Amino acid sequence: MSLIDAAREVRENAYAPYSNFKVGAAVRGRSGRVYSGCNVENVAYPEGTCAEAGAIAAMVAAGETELTEVAIIADSPHPVSPCGGCRQKLAEFGRHDTKVTLATIDGAVQETTIGALLPAGFSVEHMDRA
């Protein structure tokens, strides 16, 4: 199954009763295995989690800490753009040139990279003097 198909499938399970905005995400680990996640909202709104966070958590729980590709899908007018926090989370486990596919359920697709989504991001080098 393609990464975008995995994201499309897991999106169906999103728990989004407050926003009604379901998101699906899938990441490919260095091993080639695919991990997927959906957004999980909460009545205490800040406790909700993004789809990307779920996919990354599944990858790490399976013992992988490197992702080689990302796909994110939602029912939006334009390919869904990950939030700032998720860009930082993706950067933790990917590289600048890691491919990210942003998509809508209508079939619109935008290809980008983690580096393009998070230019000049905070990284471990900034803590060199710590």
Active site residues: 52
Among residues 25 and 34, whose Cβ is nearest to ligand THU? 25
Look at strands 109-113 and 67-74 and give their pairing: unpaired
The sheet carrying 109-113 orders its strands as: 34-38, 23-29, 67-74, 99-104, 109-113
Among residues 29 and 37, whose Cβ is nearest to ligand THU? 37
List 11, 28, 39, 100, residue binding ligand THU (CB under 6 A): 39
Q: How far is residue 53's CA from residue 93's CA, in Å, rounded to a whole number?
A: 12
Q: How far is residue 75's CA from residue 21's CA, in Å, rounded to a whole number?
A: 7
> Rounded to the nearest whole angstrom, what is the least distance from the CB of residue 30 to ligand THU in the complex?
23
Among residues 21 and 63, whose Cβ is nearest to ligand THU? 21
- Which whole-number Å values give the CA distances from 57 to 52, 63, 112, in the listed order? 9, 10, 22
19 part of the interface to ligand THU, by CB under 6 A:
yes
Residues of this chain that bind ligand THU (CB under 6 A): 16, 19, 21, 23, 39, 41, 48, 50-52, 72, 80, 82-83, 86
